[in-house]
Amino acid sequence: RVCAHEASLGLLFAGVLEAKPIVECFVFEGEADSPRSLETLARRRAEEHAENALALLFRPRDLARRAGEGLRQGFPDAGPVRRAR
């Protein structure tokens, strides 16, 4: 995970240098209990990251509305930070 963090920082730096967003998508072996579930997780996470990239380009307000909702890429959602009153 340390290497992934360093890779993430490198991608962030490259994005700043180029003034362009770079979508990163990491999946770790320890996140799944079998090769099949790891494949499913990787596919779902990549698809959901791609959907977020499209939203960033074409529907940025949608992303702002979903902030703090606990949405997870590849796993069930965690729920909002605060419950509506």
pLDDT number for residue 11: 95
DSSP letter string over 16-60? HHHTS--------GGG-SSHHHHHHHHHHHHHHHHHHHHHHHH-H
pLDDT number for residue 64: 81
Give first-to-last CA distance, the chain, whole Å. 38
Is 9 a domain residue?
A: yes
Is 83 a domain residue?
A: no
Q: The domain that contains 10 carries what CATH number?
A: 3.40.50.960
Q: Are 15 and 44 in contact (CB under 8 A)?
A: no
Is 71 a domain residue?
A: no
Q: Look at the chain and report how many structural domains it folds into.
A: 1
pLDDT (tens digit, 9 = 90+) per residue, 48-57?
889 888 998 8
Residue 29: domain span: 2-66
Measured distance CA(27)–CA(16) in Å, rounded: 23
pLDDT lower than 50: segments of the chain: none
DSSP 69: S
Q: Are 45 and 73 in contact (CB under 8 A)?
A: yes
Is 17 a domain residue?
A: yes
Is 10 a domain residue?
A: yes
